[in-house]
Amino acid sequence: MHWLKRDIQSVFERDPAAKNVLEVITCYPGLHAVILHRLAHFFARRRLVLLPRLISQLSRFITGIEIHPGARIGEGFFIDHGMGVVIGETTEIGDNVTLYQGVTLGGTGKEKGKRHPTLGDNVVVGSGAKVLGPVTIGDNVRVGAGAVVLNDVPANTTVVGIPGRVVIYQGQRVPAVNLNHHDMPDPVAEMLDCLQRQVDDLRCRLETCQENKWEEGQRGRKAL
């Protein structure tokens, strides 16, 4: 039961509201969903069909979190306030991954085979984010709240926006299990700031040119 201890430990590592083991075991639906999924996945790997789906549906009814029995999930997986989380059949999730409320790891069509995302280690996916299709999310990636990711994301980066755009977070490597998914750079705001600075610079130059022309005109009148 090493995985159970690791999943419980992950709650204490990432949720300051967790007070004791009994509270975590009895009151955390994210942990309940993970435990029931591991049970369903155990039966799914033995090529049973109905039983794992029944366990999955029971988990969805109890927790509001839908995880397909076929999804592969590593250790230290934590779902915080997980109502509305959906994880598709061919999803693969590494170790120490954190998902917040409303996250979807889904597909984009009816094709067979691999059609859901692959998440590396230490990934954080913010509230309401959608990662769609057979994309690969590298290690230490942070996906901002509300982002829609449709393409592969390299390791040690941050993704924001619709569609998701990779941005560098303060020019530094993203630390492991960084939970500040609300503290994201905004590439649109940064571009607008850059345009505003350029407009201000052009305005200053225009005013300087107008002042020079006025002074030249005054000197010309005096010469006459």
CA–CA dist 30, 8 (Å, integer): 10
Backbone angles phi, psi at 13, to 5 degrees: -70, -30
Q: What is the mean pLDDT of residues 104-114?
A: 83
Residues 50-79 have pLDDT tens digits of 999 999 999 999 999 999 999 999 988 999
Q: What average pLDDT does this structure show over 90-119?
A: 89
111 — pLDDT class (breaks 50, 70, 90): confident
Q: What is the model's pLDDT at position 7?
A: 83
Contacting residues for 14 by C-beta, under 8 A, at least 6 apart: 78, 80, 98, 177, 179
Q: Which residues contact 126 (CB under 8 A, 6 or more apart)?
A: 100, 103, 142, 143, 144, 145, 146, 147, 181, 182, 184
Do 118 and 92 meet the contact criterion of CB atoms below 8 Å apart?
Answer: yes
Cβ-based neighbour number of residue 70 at 10 Å: 18
Q: Which residues contact 34 (CB under 8 A, 6 or more apart)?
A: 7, 67, 73, 77, 79
How does pLDDT run across 123-154, given as a tens digit for each residue?
Answer: 999 999 999 999 999 999 899 888 899 989 88
- pTM for the complete prediction? 0.71
Please state, for a pLDDT cut of 70, what percent of the chain lies above it. 84
| Close Cβ partners of 200 (under 8 Å, ≥ 6 residues apart) | none
